Structure 1
Amino acid sequence: MKLLIAIFVALYATSCLAGARADTPNIVLIVADHMGASDIGPYGATDVETPSLDTMAAQGVRFTNFNSAAPICGPSRAAMMTGRYPARIGFEDNIDHDGGLSAEIPTVPALLKPKGYKSGLFGKWHLGHAEGTDPLSHGFDEFFGYDEWSINYYTHRNDSGKESLVHNGRIVEREGYLTDILTDESIRFMEEHRGDPFFLYLSYNTALPPYLGPNLPPDRWDAEFNIGTATRADYIAMVEAMDAGIGRVLESLENLGLAENTLVLFTYDHNGRNLVRNAPYSGGFAMLKEGGTRVPLIMRWPQRLPAGETLRRDGIGMDLAATVLNAAGIELGPIELDGRDLIHAPDSDGERTFFWRISLGDFGQAAVRRGKWKLLVHRFSTFSKPTIYLYDLEADPGESMDLYHQKQAFADSLHRELIEWEASVATRDPAA
């Protein structure tokens, strides 16, 4: 009799937990760095094997018109965490050692707290070194990783030779390949919080320099942070090691009985250059060509999303915050996001308009996209008049044929919208 009562109590508790958790799914956001747009299997890779991401795409949805909010790390990641344009929150450049994302600006982990979420970041932050700008100040309960642009995969030192692997603000020494360590720590976090709703941000530094694959002998660990001697094979080994780590994370969700009610998202912060393949797009890192900003997005959530679908729905980095928060049932109140929920927005929800801006010293770029049309503006500090290009991305995804003079009136109207957007973000309170 006692045994029957114990079984009943356990089953009742499990059912209550399942009911309480129905509107609080676990969320796993996996972000790669500086990779090629076509360097994973679901997006046409021919010389890179990514069986884990192939499986994830087969079990979920794959977006073909998703864009990073910026072609460089910091602004793109700030958009993911805040749901706002980088320009609106004053975060358009990669930060130096004194800057960072103010804790006054609401972020995903901070907004998830009222729902009881435990949040952990494992890997790259790159949104601030200073007090009040670190992950723990933004609602993360645990941070194991680094706040540099990249660190060595074996020595865990930055490009100045400084030890840079930290756990909750303290330097830690850990032997092993960084990709594997971040995977191990992520799995440990999920195991520890299997009874809580959790937000796991797994931010691999794959595939940033130094280009070091797994299982290298110690005499190869101190590679320089450049690409002078790196090969495509080095890059491929790094990507395939990351894919193996993603496979372990997905397997752990299954083993923990959490896979059905876990939303898993995979994307890049931006595309790379040099050793990567961005075809059919042109350009790459730090450029507003499609090769800099058109990135993969795969989402899997067995309870809510269909399997094996490809979506042409337009999306941008800020949408990740909106999607995650809406999935968790977060009421934003007066907080306004620039992003839109990608799961519940219908394909017929109207044409969206996206804006970008980046400054590279004496040269800057800005862009606006609406549907298939993209306006690209080159600005030079020594010239008062910008150079303007118009592309039809459906017919010309490589942006090789400028149609500005054929459709000048339409192009000029898009340019005016870009200027109006720039004026609007300049006057908004970033903490509002």
Structure 2
Amino acid sequence: MKPLLRRMPLLCSIALLLLACCVAQASDRPPNVIIFLADDLGYGDLACYGNPIVQTPNLDRFAREGVRLTDCHAGGTVCSPSRAALLTGRNPYRSGFFYIHGKDTYLKDEEVTLAEVLKDQGYETGFWGKWHLSTLEKTHYVHPGPSEQGFDYWMGTTLNAFDKLGGPRRPKAFIKNGEPVGTVDAWYCDVIVDDARDWLVNQRSKQKPFFMYVCSHEPHTPIDPPAEYSNRYDNAEVDQLEKQTQYGQISRPKKDISDNKKDYYGTVNQLDDAFGRLMKTLEEEGLRENTLVLFTSDNGPETPVTVEESLGQWEDPIRDKCFGSPGVLRGMKRFPYEGGHRVPGLVRLPGVIPAGTESHVLFNGTDILPTVCGLTGANVPTNRNVDGVDASDAFLGRTVQRGHSAIWFYPHHGDTWFRMPQISMRQGDLTLIAWLPKRTEGVSLDEWFATSDPDRVALYDVSIDPGQSNDIASKHPEIVSSMKKEMTALWREMRDEGLSK
């Protein structure tokens, strides 16, 4: 075994070289790239991930045409940090996405994005949907927006549909290439997919490879799908199945919100149809065979307001329609437990990724940039810390070599959410969960954040305990000591780099 272990880096390099060669031989030019990012879609929300209720025929078919990742993770546990990680390949704390107080957080112009890297490689780039990395309405005089971050064409919104310019059914006014286009009278996923399809058919340069980044609002709140979708889930069978659904060991609200479940399931169904239309257009344009398509989510599913409710804080009826599930995993959106960041991951590249396969190898949101670079011949930025690696071997079910363990932070300070841990780190199948010490009276939030290190910890083996219900830390003190040392070093390095911005 020892000679084989010494040869593993060489074998992995050979596998990556063969994969890149397959891509190059499939066409005279590098593959097109489409990343479709759902919002708050849980690990257990799709039929192809075991959901017995929601109809997702288009994504199920897509899964059969490529690889289904069972250990795919967002780069963060909430929206903006995950999106920053996806575009930069860096842990979002390096980019300053702490969310510890009301500071104005946005993706700085100094960050190098996947769009910029591919644009330098000769790609035409386009973005649609929820940006959530700056204020688009002020992009020319306050924040860098999609144009400044490498996108040739874009149509999007600053955050989601919460603001005064839109409502639950009608999205807010869109901004296109920096100019307002008015409130669009349609559902969010339909608007962005239809515009993306039009760009694909009529507006892009046919002489260039392209990169499309499509970010749906669904199934983020507010949730209010067309009646034709929600009505499919208004029946006794769904009522019974929902009672068996797991919600990451998080209790449901004391009040009865069961009538709302049909709207959540209908929204996921609607999202599936929108994705299916985009894939149909791709095929009609003859682009299916030379296009890498990755479908994933920005974090785990949203919870009803049960955490806040248990602390005697507030109610938020808009979240009473949240019936997303992390499947067997523990935690949901915001939680550093697996359910907060392990998400669906479906990848297709015909002729390179075998159809109908399944991979249990960890793939992280920070891996997207270096992996796409490896498959397209683009260069990974070398003048900054990039945490992700070229993890294309994960698409083939092969081991991925990493420079350090994958790590996730819950970007809140812990006073209100002190019962929730703030950090998790994966080393193989072992996950170390950690809490920062409680902030003492008189210590400012900034001082607490800048000086605190991981304190209390728990250890789980997710290969046999995906629900993270059996803390084995006391049985493995040496492993805990070693992992906590690495966690502390990564925490300090990433936090301090972000604080320096």
Q: Is the aligned partner of 1:231 residue 2:260?
A: yes
The answer to whether the aligner puts 1:340 opposite 2:389 as a matched pair is: yes
The one of 172, 175, 194 aligned to 1:166: 175
For 1:151 and 1:21, the matched residues in 2 are separated by 43
Residue of structure 1 equivalent to 2:338: 290
The amino acid of 1:246's aligned partner reads F
Residues 387-430 of structure 1, C-alpha deviations (whole Å, 9 max, x = no match):
21111111110011111111122112111110111232245589
Aligned 8 A contact 2:97 2:411 in 1: no
Aligned match for 2:430, one of 360, 369, 373 = 373
CA distances 1:87-143 after superposition (whole Å, capped 9, x unpaired)? 222223399694310111100111111222111111001011153421111011122
SS of the residue aligned with 2:490? Answer: helix
| Unpaired segments ≥5 residues, structure 1 | 1-17, 217-226
CA distance in 1, matches of 2:435, 2:498: 27
Secondary structure of 1:273's aligned partner: coil
Indicate how the Cα distance of structure 1 residues 133 and 400 shifts in structure 2: closer, same or farther if over 3 A, else same. same
**Matched residue, 2:189:** 179
Question: Does residue 261 of structure 1 match 2:313?
Answer: no
Distance 1:231 1:37, change over 3 A: same
Q: Give the distance between the partners of 2:101 and 2:121, measured in 1 at CA.
A: 31
Aligned to 1:10: none
Structure 2 vs 1, CA of residues 405 and 319 (structure 1 numbering), >3 Å: closer, same or farther?
Answer: same
What is the match of residue 41 of structure 1?
A: 47
1:309 to 336, 357, 371: 357
CA contact (8 A) 1:148 1:158 kept: no
Alpha-carbon separation, structure 1, partners of 2:329 and 2:104: 35
Asked if the contact 2:96/2:105 (under 8 Å) is kept, the reply is no
Other-structure match for 1:248: 277
Q: Are the structure 2 counterparts of residues 76 and 412 from structure 1 closer, same or farther at C-alpha, using a change threshold of 3 Å? A: same
User: For 1:63-142, what aligned pairs fall within 5 Å after superposition?
Assistant: 63-93=69-99, 98-129=104-135, 130=139, 131-142=142-153
Aligned length: 403
Look up the SS of the partner of 2:200 in the other structure.
Answer: helix
State the Cα distance separating 1:215 from its structure 2 match: 5.0
Aligned to 1:330: 378
Cα distance change, pair 59–20 in 1 and its aligned pair in 2 (3 A): closer
Q: AA paired with 1:348?
A: T
State yes or no: 1:59 paired with 2:65. yes
**1:182 is matched by which residue type in structure 2?**
I
Letter of the structure 1 residue corresponding to residue 147 of structure 2: L
**Is residue 219 of structure 2 the alignment partner of residue 207 of structure 1?**
yes
Instruction: Give distance in 2, aligned partners of 1:127 and 1:316.
Output: 19
Paired with 1:242 and 1:327, the residues of 2 have a C-alpha distance of 28
1:225-258 deviation per Cα after TM superposition (whole angstroms, max 9, x unaligned): xx97971110111111111111111111111011
In proportion to residue count, which structure has more helix? 2
What are the Cα deviations for residues 72-97 of structure 1, in whole angstroms up to 9, with x where unaligned?
00001100000111122222339969
State the alpha-carbon separation in 1 of the partners of residues 331 and 495 from structure 2: 28
For the Cα contact (< 8 Å) 1:105–1:430, is it kept in 2?
no
How many angstroms apart in 2 are the aligned matches of 1:65 and 1:128? 30
In the TM superposition, what is the alpha-carbon distance from 1:288 to its structure 2 partner?
Answer: 0.5
Unaligned runs of 5+ in 2: 1-23, 229-255, 304-322, 441-451
Could you tell me whether the CA contact under 8 Å between 2:460 and 2:471 is conserved in 1? yes
Taking structure 2 as the reference length, the TM-score comes to 0.74
1:349 and 1:140 map into 2 onto residues whose CA distance is 30
- Give the aligned residue type for 2:39: D
Distance 1:95 1:59 in 2: 44
**Distance 1:19-1:420 versus aligned 2 partners, 3 A rule:** closer
Q: Distance in 1 between matches of 2:171 and 2:57?
A: 35
Instruction: Write the distance in 2 (CA, Å) between the matches of 1:416 and 1:287.
Output: 22
- Please name the residue that 1:414 is paired with: 483
Query: For the residues of structure 1 that align with 2:340 and 2:382, how far apart are their CA atoms?
Result: 33
Structure 1 pair 126–19 and aligned structure 2 pair: CA distance change class (3 A): same
Letter in 2 for 1:291: G
Give the drift of 1:291.
1.0
- Relative to its length, the structure with more strand (as a share) is 1
Q: Distance in 2 between matches of 1:290 and 1:253?
A: 33
User: Is 1:358 equivalent to 2:410 in the alignment?
Assistant: yes
Give the Cα–Cα distance (whole angstroms) in 1 for the partners of residues 133 and 483 of structure 2.
31
How far residue 319 of structure 1 moved from its aligned partner, in angstroms, is 0.8
Q: Which amino acid aligns with 2:328?
A: P
1:139-196 Cα distance to aligned partner (Å, 9 max, x none): 11122120114448xx96279x994422122222222222111110110111122612
Would the aligned equivalents of 1:148 and 1:164 in 2 still touch at CA under 8 Å? no
Correspondence 1:143 to 2:195: no
- Quote the Cα distance in structure 2 between the aligned partners of 1:30 and 1:101: 20
Post-superposition Cα deviations, 1:49-93, rounded to whole Å, max 9, x if no partner, equal 111111111010111111111110000110000011112222233
CA distance in 1, matches of 2:381, 2:483: 32
8 Å CA contact 1:95–1:128 kept in 2: the answer is no
Deviation at 1:284, TM superposition (A): 0.4
CA contact (8 A) 2:97 2:498 kept: no
When residues 348 and 99 of structure 1 are mapped into structure 2, their CA distance, relative to the original with a 3 A threshold, is closer
Q: What is the percentage of aligned positions where both structures have the same residue?
A: 30
Task: Please state whether the residue corresponding to 2:360 is helix, strand or coil.
Answer: strand
Q: Decide whether the 8 Å contact of 1:39 with 1:276 is kept in 2.
A: yes
Counterpart contact for 2:96–2:498, Cα < 8 Å: no
Q: Decide whether aligned partners of structure 1 residues 117 and 48 sit closer, same or farther in structure 2, where only a CA change above 3 A counts.
A: same
- Contact 1:106-1:431 at 8 Å conserved across structures: no
The match for 1:402 among 442, 460, 471 is: 471
Contact 1:156–1:165 under 8 Å retained in 2: no
- Counterpart amino acid of residue 249 in structure 1: L
